[in-house]
C-alpha cells in the first residue's frame, strides 16, 4: 500500500508539472504572437503616417489587438457530408479558402505593394476600425484621413473575395446526381469582446428532385430536376453603416418556355420544368474531361438558360453548350409531356451535330473515324499538340470547330480545370496520316472505277 501511495503521489506531481509546462508554453506562444502582430501593425502604420502608431493609446492598442482578424470559421450544423463528401471535407474547404486569402493580394495604399487578403483582415481592418474612433487625434493628418476614405472600398473588396471563393467552391463541389453544395458567408460575433462581426462559412447541401416519368410513347425514365446556384447573388456584398450584409445565393430550379426554342402552339409560352438524365451528366463530364463535374454542370445549366439552339438533320433539338464561354457541343433535348428533358451531351465533333456533318462532308470522317482519332473528347484535344499544327487547326476551323481550338488555347496553362496527362499526345500527325491514307484509298477506288 505504501509503495502504491508513493507512486500515486509521483504521478499526480508529474501531471501537475506537465500542466504547468503546457500553460507556460502557451503563455510564451501568446507573447510571441502579440509581438509579431505589433511589429506588423507598426510597419503598416508607418506606411500610412510615420506618427500614427505613437498616436494609438495603450487601451486602444489592447482593444485593437483583441479585435485582430483571424482565419475564416466554419459552421457545419446543417451539413450532411459523410456519405458523399467525407468527414474531412469541411476542414479541407476551410483550409483551401484561407490559403487562397493568404496567397491572393489586394490594393492597400496607392503606389505601395499590395497585401494579402488575409493580412488585410488580420491587421489592417482592425486598425481601420480603431482609427475610426480616433478622429480627434487624427484631425489635420491628411494621410490618415485619406487612408480612412478608402476603408469601405477595402472592406468590400475583402468580403467580395470571400464571397467569390464560397461561390466557386459551391459550384465546384455540386453534382446534381449526388448533392448540391451551398457555401454561404455569414457574419457573427465569435465572442463578447469582439468589436465587429467575423465572416463564418456555413455549409449546407441538398439533393435535387428525382422523378420517374411514364411518357405517352411508353418510355419510362428517371430524371433529375436541373438546378444551378445563382452565384450572381453571392459574389457581391454591400457595406452599410459599417457592417457587411450577408449574401443571398440560392439554388434555382430551371424552367423555360418552349417558344425559346422556336416551338409554336397553345403551351409554347408556358414555362416547362427542365429535367436531365444522369446519363447526360456522365457523358458531359466524360467528353469535356473536366476535373470538376460541378463546373461542367454549372456550364450546362447556364447554357440551357441562354437558350441558343439548332436542330439536327433528324429534327432533334440541340441546345448549344458552352464551356468557359466557348461552344463545346450540344445538349440533346426533347420537349414532351410538359417537360424539357435533356437526354445526352454531344461533343462538337459528334456525327449528329452540324459541325460533325461538316467533318463528314469535307473530309469523309464517320463516327468511328472521329472516335479513333480521339477528336470526340475535349480532354484529349487539350492534352495534344494540335495547336502547333496549322493544317490540323484549319481542319477544325473549316468545320466550324474553331471554338474548341480557342478553348484549348485559353486554358492550356490552367492545370486546375482539365485533367492533364504526363506527356503531350502526338495527335496532329495521327490525324494527318489518317486523312492521307483515306484520300489515297479513295484515289485508288477512283482509278479502279475509271479503268473499269
3-state SS of 364-384 is: CCCHHHHHHCCCCCHHHHHCE
Mean pLDDT score, 207-234? 84
Distance (Å, whole) CA 119 – CA 107: 12
In which band, very low, low, confident or very high, does the pLDDT at 100 lie, cut at 50, 70 and 90? very high
Distances (CA, A) of 1 to 4, 6, 7, 266: 5, 9, 10, 96
Predicted local distance difference test score (pLDDT) of residue 347: 96
Give the helix, strand, coil percentages of the chain, each rounded to 5.
50, 20, 30
pLDDT in tens, 386-438: 999 999 999 999 999 999 999 999 887 776 677 777 788 899 998 888 888 86
| Cβ atoms 56, 25 nearer than 8 A | no
Distances (CA, A) of 128 to 36, 37, 117, 153, 228: 19, 15, 15, 12, 38
Distance (Å, whole) CA 252 – CA 414: 29
C-alpha cell at 1: 500500500
In which band, very low, low, confident or very high, does the pLDDT at 184 lie, cut at 50, 70 and 90? confident
What is the SS3 assignment for 211?
Answer: strand
Predicted local distance difference test score (pLDDT) of residue 450: 45
| Cβ atoms 70, 178 nearer than 8 A | no
Which candidate, 290, 296, 285, places its Cα nearest to that of 420?
290
Please report, for the chain, the start and end positions of each structural domain, with discontinuous segments joined by +.
254-446
Question: What number of other Cβ atoms are within 10 A of residue 152's Cβ?
Answer: 14
The residues, any chain, with a CB within 8 Å of residue 412's CB and separated by 6 or more, are: 382, 387
Distance (Å, whole) CA 14 – CA 29: 22
Mean pLDDT score, 254-262? 95
- Give the H/E segment covering residue 227: strand 227-229
Mean pLDDT score, 52-81? 86
Which candidate, 341, 345, 352, 279, places its Cα nearest to that of 315?
352
- CB half-sphere exposure, 77, CA atoms < 13 A: 3
Q: Kindly tell me if the per-residue pLDDT of 3 is higher than 60.
A: no
Furthest-apart CA atoms within the chain: distance in Å: 118
Predicted local distance difference test score (pLDDT) of residue 452: 35
Distances (CA, A) of 78 to 8, 15, 74, 180, 181: 46, 39, 11, 13, 11
pLDDT in tens, 305-352: 999 999 998 899 999 999 999 999 999 999 988 999 999 999 999 989
Distance (Å, whole) CA 22 – CA 98: 28
C-alpha cell at 44: 503598416
In which band, very low, low, confident or very high, does the pLDDT at 130 lie, cut at 50, 70 and 90? very high
Q: Kindly tell me if the per-residue pLDDT of 183 is higher than 70.
A: yes
Predicted local distance difference test score (pLDDT) of residue 118: 93
User: For the ranges 58-67, 86-95, 171-180, 439-448, which has the lowest average pLDDT?
Assistant: 439-448
Predicted local distance difference test score (pLDDT) of residue 15: 56
Distance (Å, whole) CA 404 – CA 375: 10
Predicted local distance difference test score (pLDDT) of residue 316: 93
User: For the ranges 47-51, 155-159, 202-206, 242-246, which has the lowest average pLDDT?
Assistant: 242-246
pLDDT in tens, 198-216: 778 888 888 899 999 887 7
pTM: predicted TM-score of the whole model, two decimal places:
0.81
pLDDT in tens, 288-311: 877 789 999 999 999 999 999 999
pLDDT in tens, 139-151: 999 999 999 999 9
Predicted local distance difference test score (pLDDT) of residue 241: 45
Distance (Å, whole) CA 267 – CA 338: 9
Mean pLDDT score, 239-251? 54
Percent of the chain with pLDDT over 70: 85
Question: What number of other Cβ atoms are within 10 A of residue 261's Cβ?
Answer: 19
Mean pLDDT score, 277-294? 90
Predicted local distance difference test score (pLDDT) of residue 406: 95
Which candidate, 381, 430, 371, 441, places its Cα nearest to that of 406?
381
Q: Strand 309-311 relative to strand 220-225: parallel, antiparallel, unpaired?
A: unpaired
Q: Kindly tell me if the per-residue pLDDT of 16 is higher than 60.
A: no
User: For the ranges 17-31, 175-189, 219-233, 384-398, which has the lowest average pLDDT?
Assistant: 17-31
C-alpha cell at 420: 492533364
Comparing 350 with 449, which gets the higher pLDDT?
Answer: 350
Predicted local distance difference test score (pLDDT) of residue 199: 78
Question: What number of other Cβ atoms are within 10 A of residue 214's Cβ?
Answer: 10
Q: Kindly tell me if the per-residue pLDDT of 269 is higher than 90.
A: yes
Mean pLDDT score, 46-65? 93
Q: Kindly tell me if the per-residue pLDDT of 44 is higher than 90.
A: yes
Question: What number of other Cβ atoms are within 10 A of residue 206's Cβ?
Answer: 14
User: For the ranges 6-15, 187-196, 309-318, which has the lowest average pLDDT?
Assistant: 6-15
- CB half-sphere exposure, 342, CA atoms < 13 A: 34
Comparing 81 with 161, which gets the higher pLDDT?
Answer: 161
C-alpha cell at 205: 447541401
Buried b / exposed e across 414-430, counting CB within 10 Å, b at 16+?
A: eeebbeeeeeeeebbeb
Predicted local distance difference test score (pLDDT) of residue 238: 52
Distances (CA, A) of 418 to 285, 392, 407, 410, 426: 10, 22, 11, 12, 18
| Cβ atoms 302, 322 nearer than 8 A | yes
In which band, very low, low, confident or very high, does the pLDDT at 444 lie, cut at 50, 70 and 90? low
Predicted local distance difference test score (pLDDT) of residue 5: 58
Amino acid at each position: 500500500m505504501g509503495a502504491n501511495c508513493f507512486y500515486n503521489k509521483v504521478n499526480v506531481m508529474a501531471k501537475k508539472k506537465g500542466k504547468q509546462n503546457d500553460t507556460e508554453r502557451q503563455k510564451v506562444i501568446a507573447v510571441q504572437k502579440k509581438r509579431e502582430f505589433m511589429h506588423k501593425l507598426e510597419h503598416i502604420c508607418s506606411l500610412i503616417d510615420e506618427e500614427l502608431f505613437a498616436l494609438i493609446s495603450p487601451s486602444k492598442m489592447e482593444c485593437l489587438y483583441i479585435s485582430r482578424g483571424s482565419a475564416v470559421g466554419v459552421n457545419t450544423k446543417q451539413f450532411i457530408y459523410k456519405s458523399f463528401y467525407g468527414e474531412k471535407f469541411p476542414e479541407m474547404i476551410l483550409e483551401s479558402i484561407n490559403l487562397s486569402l493568404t496567397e491572393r493580394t489586394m490594393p492597400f495604399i496607392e503606389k505601395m505593394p499590395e497585401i494579402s487578403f488575409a493580412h488585410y483582415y488580420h491587421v489592417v481592418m482592425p486598425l481601420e476600425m480603431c482609427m475610426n474612433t480616433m478622429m480627434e487625434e487624427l484631425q489635420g493628418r491628411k494621410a490618415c484621413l485619406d487612408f480612412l476614405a478608402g476603408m469601405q472600398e477595402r472592406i468590400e473588396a475583402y468580403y467580395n473575395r470571400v464571397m467569390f471563393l464560397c461561390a466557386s467552391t459551391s459550384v465546384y463541389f455540386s453534382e446534381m446526381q449526388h448533392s448540391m453544395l451551398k457555401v454561404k458567408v455569414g457574419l457573427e460575433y465569435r465572442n463578447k469582446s469582439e468589436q465587429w462581426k467575423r465572416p463564418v462559412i456555413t455549409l449546407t447541401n441538398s439533393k435535387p428532385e428525382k422523378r420517374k416519368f411514364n411518357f405517352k410513347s411508353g418510355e419510362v425514365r428517371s430524371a433529375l430536376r436541373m438546378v444551378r446556384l445563382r452565384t450572381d447573388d453571392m459574389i457581391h456584398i454591400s457595406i452599410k453603416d459599417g457592417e457587411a450584409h450577408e449574401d443571398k445565393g440560392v439554388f434555382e430550379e430551371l424552367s423555360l418556355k418552349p417558344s425559346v426554342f422556336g416551338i409554336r402552339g397553345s403551351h409554347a409560352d408556358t414555362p416547362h420544368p427542365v429535367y436531365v438524365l444522369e446519363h447526360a451528366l456522365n457523358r458531359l463530364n466524360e467528353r469535356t474531361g473536366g476535373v470538376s463535374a460541378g463546373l461542367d454542370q454549372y456550364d450546362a445549366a447556364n447554357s440551357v438558360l441562354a437558350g441558343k439552339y439548332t436542330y439536327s438533320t433528324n429534327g432533334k433539338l440541340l441546345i448549344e453548350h458552352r464551356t468557359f464561354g466557348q461552344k463545346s457541343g450540344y445538349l440533346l433535348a426533347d420537349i414532351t409531356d410538359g417537360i424539357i428533358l435533356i437526354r445526352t451531351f454531344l461533343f462538337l465533333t459528334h456525327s449528329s451535330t452540324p459541325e460533325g456533318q461538316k467533318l463528314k462532308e469535307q473530309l469523309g470522317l464517320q463516327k468511328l473515324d472521329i472516335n479513333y482519332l480521339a477528336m470526340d473528347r475535349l480532354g484529349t484535344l487539350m492534352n495534344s499538340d494540335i495547336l502547333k499544327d496549322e493544317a490540323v487547326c484549319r481542319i477544325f476551323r473549316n468545320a466550324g470547330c474553331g471554338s474548341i481550338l480557342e478553348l484549348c488555347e485559353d486554358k492550356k496553362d490552367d492545370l486546375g480545370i482539365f485533367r492533364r496527362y504526363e506527356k503531350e499526345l502526338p495527335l496532329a500527325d495521327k490525324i494527318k496520316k489518317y486523312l492521307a491514307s483515306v484520300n489515297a484509298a479513295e484515289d485508288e477506288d477512283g482509278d479502279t472505277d475509271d479503268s473499269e
